[in-house]
Chain A
Amino acid sequence: MRQDDLYINKIDWITILIYIALVTMGWFNIYAAVYDEQAAKSIFDFSINSGKQLVWIGTAILLITIIMVADYRLFDNLSMILFGFFLFILLLTPFFGKEINGQRAWFEIGFFRLQPAEFAKFATALALAKFMESPTFDLSKTKFQMRALGIIALPVALIMLQPDTGTAMVYSAFGIMLFREGMPQRYYVLALSFVAISLLSLGIENNLYLAAGVAVIIIGLILIGKKSWQRIAVLSVLGLFVVAYSYSLDYVVSKLPDHQQNRIMVLFNPDLDPLGVGWNVTQSKIAIGSGGFMGKGYLEGTQTKFDFVPEQHTDFIFCTLGEEFGWIGSAVVIGLFMALLIRLVFLAERQKTRFSRIYGYCVMSILLFHFTINIAMTIGLFPVVGIPLPFFSYGGSSLWSFTILLFIFIKLDSHRIQLLGRH
């Protein structure tokens, strides 16, 4: 009994309150997204998505209860088994999954649809935590870097078979956790430069400007630094490489299938294809942009109510919020996410075991990635990638997987004292 008291008292209620706030706001926004004045259906009506979401929320509470009453050691002990299990499921998905929009990403059981790739996220997080918890695991060494990346690469490879590029991309979020755990800085500098150069080369119409810019920077670096032949040679080769890369990227993009090419190019010019690929982004921006400072009021959003934004109850749920609650509403939600993410950093840092800390960072990383990419894509800062906004978007798989992901960490955090004793 004493132990139980202890653990209830240690639960981090701040995180739970933010979770409740986000899920509740999400539910109201899902109702707004499917709201039809003429049909006049209640938010509880099970024939519409808000009613169904209520079922997902109810079952999510059940999952939370199971996680909270389960033995905390279970997650540690079962982590590799769970990982193995989900890899197996992912292996089966491309063969037995139901085909939707050219992807086999869903399992259908009765009227129930599950997306295994969503659940594989927490299993991968647990596996990574387990794998990296050993004190000898040192990310500054190439051997361990390769092992960690290998763990991540397994589910990614299987998900690409479905193929579900959006969900697979989410696994790159583990890079954030690896950063905290000591992955050398140079990889990130390299990766960020890579992304920056890619964006610049795609965004700038004429690569000659980019080449000129690169030349100016390289010459500048040569002039201000030590003028050894070796350094000059390295910098020159680097500059040539960047220019060559930007040209080859344009070439590769031009060889991509049209719809993928459009998804990328629309980011730079949404008017390129206003009725095709540009439609989502354009309509999404119109919906959010028309919300103004205060928003149009709950259930008053014409763009969301009248279906101008596709996928508005799932991946584009942020449109409903932006239109009906304006900049203020958007700021509240972004503020809540920011608070949650910072809180998770804080919680992870206070863990006494590497296992819990790594898992905590995995949770934070995945949520940060989803939050950033999802909102950035609705306002045209990122290409359209089909990933949901955590706790907000409609859908059982996504709500359950985020709930499991988060509450395993809340459970682990509440037992941080006991976990210390084990090692």
Chain B
Amino acid sequence: MNNPRPAILVAVIVLIAGVLLTKLFMIQVADDSFLKRAERNAIQRVVDHPYRGLVYDRNDKLLVYNNPVFDLMIIPKEFQVRDTARFCQLFKIEKEELIDKYQAARKYSWVKPSPLLKAISNTEFGRIQDFLIDYPGLFVMTRSVRAYPQASAANALGYIGEISGNQLKGDSSKYYRQGDYVGLAGLERYYENDLRGRKGVKYKMVNVRGIDKGSFKGGEYDTLSLAGKNVQSTIDLDLQLYGEKLMAGKRGSVVAIEPKTGEILSMISAPTYDPNLLAGSRFGKNYGNLVMDETMPLFNRPIMAMYPPGSIFKVVQSLIGLQEGILQTNTVFSCNQALVKCHPHPNPTNLFGAIKYSCNPYYHQAYRKMINREVSSNTFKDTKIGLDQWRESVMKFGLGQPLGIDMNNEKGGSIPSSNLYNRIYGEGRWKYSTIYSLSIGQGEMMVTPLQMANLAAIFANKGWYYPPHLVKTIDGERSNIPEKFRTKVEVGVDAHHFDMIQEAMGEALMGTANRAIIKDIAIAGKTGTAQNPGGADHSVFVAFAPKDDPQIAIAVYVENSGFGGRAAASTASLMIEKYLRGHITRPALEDYVLAGKFLY
């Protein structure tokens, strides 16, 4: 073999094989990007959404559940219809709409399902179910939306909705994905982590047309979803519904608390809305309408509206005075109307009378003693020191800061500090005569209805409270609710100082709030009037009952309804009777409250 060419050919063959094997090694072994691209091609991550936890009231009545809704889906490739007119009649759809939806579905995918009719109700589904068999390419997909059997407590329960872009960005746990539903307000938001459960993931194989080809590796990497925990609310549904009925057509708040536990029995924000409006596919449209509504139904008044506390604050003043030793039960001041206006009542009075008759000049003088204790010879300095000391005592009553209820956006109200007055008037340029309005709960002082109800609970408990909260158990266990709701808070006033206060509050009703009195149920209460520069004053009333063994403490605000002894006291009284007796013995009073219209 002198011819070298066969050897050259063999060399070429080996060279080609070498080139091919090298290139194969490069894409198969040295480069793993193709493996990732293959997985992106053929493996689809399907999220298994868990069943969201249910919400019950304190007596195990259902407040929130998951309602199955049905979407009629269409697969354009398989869809066939002979008689379009009959189809449109059966499925209650306009011909133009059908054509539009079909075109949209085709545009999206020829073989993958698209929605034809969304959120079909249960009954509607029952009606069309039998016809489905005649139309290939149609099938029904089930989803669930939140539903509220009693359409009650909307602001307390809150709502869920699609997660926003900002929330997604802020989600450090990377749990959520675009399109996920999250609690956006109320309990749904605060207890999101308990209610949502845990998503499961299934890895599915799909072919080039996106058609399901079974689970990947027999489901080895799949995780099961875990249903959300059920939540038992502290709300008493019957009481809540009754309160909503009483507050219909009015603007205001009712907060009822079980004093012994801090559990909120009712939390009414009026005007309210039907929570079903914000469930499912109607969310977008209805939410817009509610936001635009002038009556602000989404404004959660019990924790967000702030008013000056008014006369009711005199009780707090009395307690601080007693504890500090500045006031005694027999301390007397005259009703000097030159200091501040008052209304006719026996004069002069001791502390008991001051509470009972709500004497303004009494507290003007008492408060001066609390503020100016002559620790400094400079009256400006003396006022500053006194104010800050007093503020500290007041804040122990849960005022001037959020109570930490299990809802977001709670307002803290405000109790002014020396800094505030320094900012307004300049340091050393204000003294007692500048701030005396605080003595009777007016001036630069704001509280929320929730804080007022908590005050009532403090009066009932004689000096302590549990931070008010809306959830009793999670997953059936009280130990699952946040620790702070199981921790007693002392307000720093000895229990015996409350005895006289409770008596005075009991007697205060006679005269100022006769309507509130219930036969056989001893109520202690205090009226208030929150001044409203823009219109008629707001009617305020706080109370607890029975006086000797308090079961309920309540604060009622009815805006623009004038003196607190009328609308607010009547409402509170009816609520107390409803809760303690289960029924109303005074239909006339009920009619009076129901007829009162201060809003519409």
Q: Does A pair with B?
A: yes
Q: Any chain B CB within 8 A of the CB of A311?
A: no
Are B13 and A342 neighbours in the complex by a CB distance under 8 Å? yes
Is the beta-carbon distance between A379 and B35 smaller than 8 angstroms? no
A138 part of interface (Cβ distance < 8 Å) = no
Q: Are the CB atoms of B213 and A322 closer together than 8 Å?
A: no
A348 to B1, CA, bound (A): 12
Nearest CB of chain A from residue B219's CB, rounded to whole Å: 14
Q: Are B24 and A290 within 8 A (Cβ)?
A: no
**Binary contact track A290-302/B, C-beta < 8 Å → 1, others 0:** 1111000000001
Determine whether A381 belongs to the interface, using a CB cutoff of 8 Å to chain B: yes
Q: With contacts A289-B34, A306-B42 known, is A322 near B13, CB below 8 A?
A: no
Interface: A203 (CB within 8 A): no
Q: Does B206 contact A (CB under 8 A)?
A: yes
Given contacts A179-B9, A307-B207, A342-B10, whether A327 and B42 have CB atoms under 8 Å apart is no
Compute how far the CA of A173 lies from the CA of B1 in the bound complex, rounded to whole angstroms. 23
- Point out the residues of chain B lying under 8 angstroms from A287, CB to CB: 38
* Chain A window 56-83, contacts with chain B (Cβ cutoff 8 Å), 1 for yes, 0 for no: 0000000000000000000000000000
- A289–B30 CA distance with the chains assembled, in angstroms: 9
Nearest B residue (CB) for A179: B5
- Contact status of A327 and B5, CB under 8 A, knowing A288-B34, A341-B13, A375-B20: no
What residue of chain A has the Cβ atom nearest to residue B25's Cβ? A327
- Known A290-B35, A345-B6, A376-B20; contact A303-B42, beta-carbon cutoff 8 A: yes
Contact A302 B20, beta carbon cutoff 8 Å: no
Task: Report the Cα distance A152→B8, complex, angstroms.
Answer: 23
Complex contacts, B21 vs chain A, CB 8 Å: 327, 330-331, 334
Contact with B28, one of A293, A305, A348 (Cβ below 8 angstroms): A293
CB distance from A132 to the nearest CB of B (A): 15
In the complex, are the beta carbons of B43 and A302 less than 8 A apart? yes
Within 8 A of A (CB), among B198-237: 205-209, 213-214
A322 cross-chain contacts in B, Cβ below 8 A: 24, 28
Which residue of the partner chain A has the closest CB to B33? A289
Q: Which A residue sits closest to B37, measured CB to CB?
A: A286
Q: Within 8 Å CB of B9, what residues of A?
A: 176, 179-180, 345, 364
Question: Chain A, 161-198, contact with B by CB distance < 8 Å: what is the 0/1 string?
Answer: 00000000000000010011010000000000000000
B1 in contact with A349 (CB, 8 Å): yes
Cβ of B41 within 8 Å of any chain A Cβ, yes or no, is yes
A-facing residues in B37-90 (Cβ within 8 Å): 37-39, 41-43
Q: Please tell me which one of the listed residues B24, B34, B208, B213 contacts residue A327 in the complex, with CB atoms under 8 A apart.
A: B24
CB-contact partner of B41 in A308, A334, A345, under 8 A:
A308
B16 part of interface (Cβ distance < 8 Å)? yes
A37-B213, A338-B17, A368-B13 are contacts. A379–B208 as well, Cβ < 8 Å?
no
Count the B residues whose beta carbon is within 8 Å of the partner chain — how many? 38
Q: Is A119 an interface residue (CB 8 A)?
A: no
Q: Is B375 engaged at the interface, CB distance under 8 Å to the other chain?
A: no
* Cα–Cα, bound, A337→B6 (Å): 17
B31 is an interface residue with CB less than 8 A from chain A: yes
Say whether B29 faces chain A, with CB atoms less than 8 Å apart.
yes
Q: A292-B35, A338-B14, A376-B20 are in contact. Are A306 and B206 (CB under 8 A)?
A: yes
| Residue A150 interfacial (CB < 8 Å) | no
- Minimum C-beta distance from A163 to chain B (A): 28
* Complex Cα spacing A376 to B22, Å: 11
CA distance A38 to B29 in the complex (A): 31
**In the bound complex, how far is the Cα of B38 from the Cα of A54, in angstroms?**
30
Q: Say yes or no: is A94 at the interface (Cβ < 8 Å to chain B).
A: no
Which of B170-204 touch A at CB < 8 Å?
none
Q: Mark A353-390 against chain B: 1 for CB-CB distance below 8 A, else 0.
A: 00000000000100010011001100101000000000
On chain B, the residues within 8 Å of A376 by CB distance are 20
Q: Is B23 in contact with chain A by the CB < 8 A criterion?
A: yes
- Can you name the residue of chain A whose Cβ is closest to the Cβ of B43? A302
Is A213 an interface residue, CB under 8 A from the partner? no
CB-CB under 8 A for A326 and B6, given A286-B38, A302-B43, A303-B42: no
Counting chain A CB atoms within 10 Å of each CB, the highest count among B3, B10, B24, B31 belongs to B24
- Would you mind naming 14 contact pairs between A and B with Cβ atoms under 8 Å apart? A38-B213, A287-B38, A288-B24, A289-B27, A289-B34, A291-B28, A292-B28, A302-B38, A303-B38, A305-B213, A330-B21, A345-B9, A381-B19, A381-B23
Instruction: Please give me the 4 A-B residue pairs with the lowest Cβ-Cβ distance, nearest first.
Output: A289-B34, A290-B38, A306-B207, A302-B42
